[in-house]
């Protein structure tokens, strides 16, 4: 029924207590037959159950997106602007979106995306590369190596920064991987995603890109970052450190949060005047040691180890499963409860494999810091050989363990490297505890 309405601006009338009154907007494509999805004037999407709808009346047609994109070649480069390489991997962001009207077209090229956002031309000269087209849940460590090799290949001093676009689901894993694997890096590399699915288009892709580009143009900082919405509106984009960020909501635009630290910077977007961006960056003063842009030659590591498992402990955890994991892994990252605790039954197994498998502790609380000194159980765990990873995120710890195993197989070196704060993955212990 709704198929015929796609792209039309309609007024929908509710028929019951759940949805009474009227609402109008542009009907978007949507896979769930029981729902009608509207793009409102506010830019938000709204889903209404068919069963609550009294009537749908067409009141207009959505503004069309530009039918034919100009080729990138038609744009003259602006000598005063940074040159930014955009590498696309697939994901939600890889669908063409007119971010002002909410119209959508099915075919995507990176250039289409750029051409849909005129403000970009004020911020950077862009070159696009489509490296792969994968759902982010299928992007694995071999793909991380491919990305690093591509960056290494492109890094001939020609670029002032890179943007990598991929599906949001595993952005924090790839951001950690690049943080470690791009060992020396003189420019910013920013991962950007979009929380709106291709069949429920809206603007966050464009705004996240503009935030990332503004950061590259204005900040003069080097490192691996993630640029995503800071709030649910489109006004502020957060720039997160690649090793300290996590997806904390399935669907919100501001799903990505820096954990135990604040974002590196907030980019306040100001797009009021067409084609003139007046974006502003507010830096977090705590990141005083952020690396400046420099001419350092990129140094990469393209070797990742294997045999790392990440597990969450829970009551009555099956001991034979735990033993299987310890038997078959070189490194186990275990998300303990609270300050980093495991049951006695699992500790016994850790002790048994003490000389074979290295066990690192993170916390399933996500926020806060592992501390195995507070309770007796923590001290027993230390005696069993378990090593606290302080406030390192479990996901970052998993990725770092793969990276470290690419460097060494010696237990003492592994332990030393895991605890070395390489890329801000461990935040400073404060003088005062709560």
> What is the C-alpha separation between 265 and 18, in angstroms, rounded?
41
Contact call for residue 320 and a copy of itself (CB under 8 A): yes
Decide if 27 contacts 18 (C-beta within 8 A): no
Neighbours of 71 (CB within 10 A): 10
Q: Which stretch binds a copy of itself (CB under 8 A): 221-229, 269-277, 282-290, 361-369?
A: 361-369
Whichever of 98 and 254 has its CB closer to a copy of itself, that residue is 254
Q: Is 207 in the site for a copy of itself (CB under 8 A)?
A: no
- What is the closest distance, in whole angstroms, from the C-beta atom of residue 189 to a copy of itself in the complex? 18
Q: Which residues are catalytic?
A: 92, 168-169, 247
Distances (CA, A) of 43 to 38, 66, 103, 196, 234: 10, 19, 11, 12, 9
Radius of gyration of the chain from its Cα atoms, rounded to whole angstroms? 24
* Residues within window 217-246 making contact with a copy of itself, judged by CB under 8 A: 232
Hey, which residues between 53 and 112 contact a copy of itself (CB under 8 A)? none
| List 130, 197, 262, 301, residue binding a copy of itself (CB under 8 A) | 197
- Cross-strand pairs, 48: 36
Nearest to 227 by CA among 426, 86, 129, 39: 86
Site for a copy of itself in 172-191 (CB under 8 A): 173-174
Task: Give the largest Cα separation in the chain, rounded.
Answer: 72
Applying CB under 8 A, which part among 98-106, 120-128, 184-192, 360-368 lies near a copy of itself? 360-368
How far apart are the C-alpha atoms of 215 and 244, rounded to whole Å?
18
Taking a C-beta distance cutoff of 8 angstroms, is the pair 364, 315 a contact? no
**42 interacts with a copy of itself by CB under 8 A:** no
User: Angle 171-181/394-405 helices, nearest 10 degrees?
Assistant: 40
Token code pair at residue 434: 């709560």
Q: Crossing angle for the helix pair 344-352 and 376-383, nearest 10 degrees? A: 20
Is 165 near a copy of itself (CB under 8 A)? no
Q: Nearer Cβ to a copy of itself, position 318 or 383?
A: 318
Are 205 and 88 in contact by the 8 Å Cβ rule? The answer is no
Which of 49, 83, 100, 351 is close enough to bind a copy of itself by CB under 8 A? 49
In angstroms, give the least distance from the CB of 31 to a copy of itself. Answer: 6
According to DSSP, the residues that pair with 276 across neighbouring strands are 273
Looking at the Cβ atoms of 7 and 338, the one nearer to a copy of itself is 338
Interface region with a copy of itself, contact rule CB under 8 A, candidates 53-61, 106-114, 156-164, 192-200: 192-200
Determine if 353 is a binding residue for a copy of itself (CB under 8 A): no
Encoded one letter per residue, x for contact with a copy of itself by CB under 8 A and - for no contact, window 115-154 reads --------------------xxxxxxxx-x----------
Task: Compute the distance between CA of residue 186 and CA of residue 247 in angstroms, rounded to an integer.
Answer: 27
Shortest Cβ 318–a copy of itself spacing (Å): 7
Q: Is 336 in the site for a copy of itself (CB under 8 A)?
A: yes
Whichever of 97 and 370 has its CB closer to a copy of itself, that residue is 370
**Closest to 100 (Cα-Cα) out of 269, 234, 214:** 234
Question: Nearer Cβ to a copy of itself, position 15 or 278?
Answer: 15
Nearer to a copy of itself, 171 or 216 (CB): 171
Q: Does 342 bind a copy of itself (CB under 8 A)?
A: yes
Binding segment for a copy of itself among 94-102, 116-124, 157-165, 309-317 (CB under 8 A)?
A: 309-317
Please give the residues from 267 up to 306 whose contact with a copy of itself meets the rule CB under 8 A: 306
324 binding a copy of itself? (CB under 8 A):
yes
E strand residue ranges, 131-219: 161-165, 182-184, 188-192
- Do the Cβ atoms of 91 and 168 come closer than 8 Å? yes
The Cα–Cα gap between 162 and 192 comes to 10
Query: Total residues contacting a copy of itself (rule CB under 8 A)?
Result: 86
């Amino acid at each position: 029924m709704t198929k015929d309405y796609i792209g039309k601006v309609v007024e929908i009338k509710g028929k019951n207590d759940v949805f009474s009154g009227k609402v109008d907007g542009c009907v978007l494509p949507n896979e769930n037959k029981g729902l009608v999805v509207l793009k409102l004037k506010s830019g938000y999407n709204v889903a209404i159950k068919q069963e609550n709808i009294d009537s749908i009346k067409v009141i207009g047609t959505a503004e069309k997106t530009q039918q034919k994109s100009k080729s990138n070649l038609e744009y003259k480069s602006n000598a005063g602007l940074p040159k930014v390489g955009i590498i696309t991997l697939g994901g939600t962001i890889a669908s063409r979106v007119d971010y002002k009207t909410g119209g959508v077209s099915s075919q995507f090229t990176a250039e289409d995306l750029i051409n849909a956002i005129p403000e970009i031309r004020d911020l950077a000269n862009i070159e696009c590369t489509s490296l792969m087209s994968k759902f982010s849940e299928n992007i694995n460590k071999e793909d991380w190596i491919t990305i690093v090799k591509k960056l290494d290949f492109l890094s001939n001093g020609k670029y002032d920064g890179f943007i990598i676009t991929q599906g949001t689901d595993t952005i924090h894993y790839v951001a950690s991987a690049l943080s470690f694997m791009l060992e020396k890096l003189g420019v910013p590399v920013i991962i950007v995603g979009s929380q709106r699915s291709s069949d429920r288009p809206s603007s966050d892709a464009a705004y996240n890109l503009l935030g990332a580009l503004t950061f590259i143009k204005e900040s003069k900082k080097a490192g691996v970052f993630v640029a995503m919405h800071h709030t649910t509106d489109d006004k502020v984009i957060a720039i997160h450190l690649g090793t300290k960020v996590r997806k904390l909501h399935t669907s919100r635009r501001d799903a990505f949060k820096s954990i135990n630290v604040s974002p590196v910077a907030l980019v306040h977007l100001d797009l009021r005047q067409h084609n003139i961006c007046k974006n502003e960056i507010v830096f977090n003063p705590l990141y005083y040691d952020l690396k400046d842009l420099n001419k350092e030659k990129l140094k990469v590591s393209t070797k990742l180890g294997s045999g790392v498992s990440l597990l969450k402990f829970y009551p009555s955890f099956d001991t034979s499963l735990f033993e299987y994991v310890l038997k078959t892994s070189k490194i186990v990252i275990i998300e303990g409860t609270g300050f980093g605790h495991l049951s006695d039954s699992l500790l016994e197994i850790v002790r048994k494999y003490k000389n074979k498998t290295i066990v690192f502790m993170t916390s399933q609380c996500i926020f806060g810091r592992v501390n195995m000194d507070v309770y007796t159980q923590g001290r027993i765990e230390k005696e069993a050989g378990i090593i606290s990873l302080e406030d390192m995120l479990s996901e970052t710890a998993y990725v770092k363990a793969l990276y470290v195993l690419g460097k060494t197989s010696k237990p003492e070196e592994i332990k030393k490297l895991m605890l070395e704060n390489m890329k801000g993955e461990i935040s400073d212990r404060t003088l005062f505890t709560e």
